Structure 1
Amino acid sequence: MKIYNHLSEFKRLNNAVATIGTFDGVHFGHQKIINRLCELARSTGGESVILTFFPHPRMIIDPENQDLKMINTIEEKAEILAALGVDHLIITPFTRDFSNLSPSEYIQKILVETIGIKQIIVGYDHRFGKDRSGGMKDLIAFSGPYGYEVEEIGEQDINDVAVSSTKIRESLLCGQVGLAAEYLGYPFSLYGPVIKGDKIGRTIGYPTANIFIEQPYKLIPSDGIYAVTVETDNQAYKAMAYIGQRPTINGMTRNIEVNIFDFDREIYGQYIKMNFHEFLRHDVKFTGLEALKVQLAQDKEDTLKYFAQQH
Structure 2
Amino acid sequence: MRIFTNWRDLPQDARGATVALGNFDGVHLGHASVIRAAHAARPDAPLTVLTFEPHPREVFRPDDPPFRLTLSAERADALAALGVDLLYELPFNHEFSLMTAEDFVGEVLHKGFGVRHLVSGQDFAFGHRRGGNTSFLADRAEALGMGVTLVPPVTDSQGPLSSTRIRRALQDGYPERATAELGRPWAIRGIVSHGDKRGRTIGFPTANVPLGRHLEPARGVYAVTIRLADGSIHKGVSNIGRRPTVNAGTESRLEVNLFDFNQDIYGTDITVALHTYIRPEIKFSGLDALKAQIAADAAEARRLLG
Q: Does the pair score TM above 0.5?
A: yes
Please name the residue that 2:41 is paired with. Answer: 40
Greater shift in the superposed pair: 98-107 or 239-248: 98-107
Are the equivalent residues in 2 in contact too, given 1:38–1:85 (CA < 8 A)?
no
Distance 2:198 2:114 in 1: 58
Please name the residue that 1:236 is paired with. Answer: 233
Give the root-mean-square deviation of aligned CA atoms: 2.0
Distance 1:67 1:251 in 2: 20
Please name the residue that 2:3 is paired with. Answer: 3
Distance 1:279 1:72 in 2: 20
CA displacement, residues 14-55 of structure 1 (integer Å, 9 cap, x when unaligned): 63211211110000111100112123332xx21122110111
Please name the residue that 2:244 is paired with. Answer: 247
Distance 1:240 1:75 in 2: 24
The question of 1:138 aligning with 2:136 is answered yes
Pair 1:144–1:210, CA change in 2 (3 A): closer
Distance 1:300 1:79 in 2: 30
Q: CA deviation at 1:58?
A: 1.7
From 146, 149, 162, the equivalent of 2:147 is 149
> Normalised by the size of structure 2, how large is the TM-score?
0.91
TM alignment of 1:22-37, pairs within 5 A: 22-37=23-38
The question of 1:102 aligning with 2:103 is answered no
Letter in 2 for 1:137: S
TM alignment of 1:251-266, pairs within 5 A: 251-252=248-249, 253-266=251-264
Distance 1:96 1:245 in 2: 34
Secondary structure of the equivalent of 2:245? helix
Please name the residue that 1:129 is paired with. Answer: 127
Distance 1:23 1:256 in 2: 24
Name whichever structure is richer in helix by fraction.
Answer: 1
Greater shift in the superposed pair: 110-119 or 125-134: 125-134
CA displacement, residues 240-273 of structure 1 (integer Å, 9 cap, x when unaligned): 0012222222442433211111112222222221
Greater shift in the superposed pair: 110-119 or 127-136: 127-136
Pair 1:205–1:9, CA change in 2 (3 A): farther
CA displacement, residues 93-148 of structure 1 (integer Å, 9 cap, x when unaligned): 12333323332222111111111122111112221222212123223323443112
Please name the residue that 2:154 is paired with. Answer: 158
Distance 1:60 1:203 in 2: 42
Letter in 2 for 1:281: R
Are the equivalent residues in 2 in contact too, given 1:49–1:90 (CA < 8 A)?
yes
Percent same amino acid among aligned pairs? Answer: 36
Please name the residue that 1:17 is paired with. Answer: 18
Structure 2: segments with no counterpart, 5+ residues: none
Secondary structure of the equivalent of 1:248? coil
Please name the residue that 2:220 is paired with. Answer: 224
Distance 2:174 2:30 in 1: 19
From 105, 109, 112, the equivalent of 2:110 is 112
Letter in 1 for 2:234: Y
Distance 2:143 2:242 in 1: 59
From 65, 75, 78, the equivalent of 1:77 is 75
Aligned residues: 301
Distance 1:124 1:102 in 2: 20
Pair 1:197–1:298, CA change in 2 (3 A): same
Are the equivalent residues in 1 in contact too, given 2:176–2:275 (CA < 8 A)?
yes
Distance 1:141 1:195 in 2: 51
Are the equivalent residues in 2 in contact too, given 1:53–1:91 (CA < 8 A)?
yes
Are the equivalent residues in 2 in contact too, given 1:29–1:163 (CA < 8 A)?
yes
Greater shift in the superposed pair: 241-250 or 72-81: 241-250
Greater shift in the superposed pair: 106-115 or 242-251: 242-251
CA displacement, residues 281-304 of structure 1 (integer Å, 9 cap, x when unaligned): 011111111111221121112111
> Normalised by the size of structure 1, how large is the TM-score?
0.90
Secondary structure of the equivalent of 1:280? strand
Are the equivalent residues in 2 in contact too, given 1:227–1:303 (CA < 8 A)?
yes
Greater shift in the superposed pair: 157-166 or 107-116: 157-166
Letter in 2 for 1:31: A
Q: CA deviation at 1:68?
A: 4.4
Greater shift in the superposed pair: 72-81 or 119-128: 119-128
Distance 1:306 1:115 in 2: 48
The question of 1:287 aligning with 2:288 is answered no
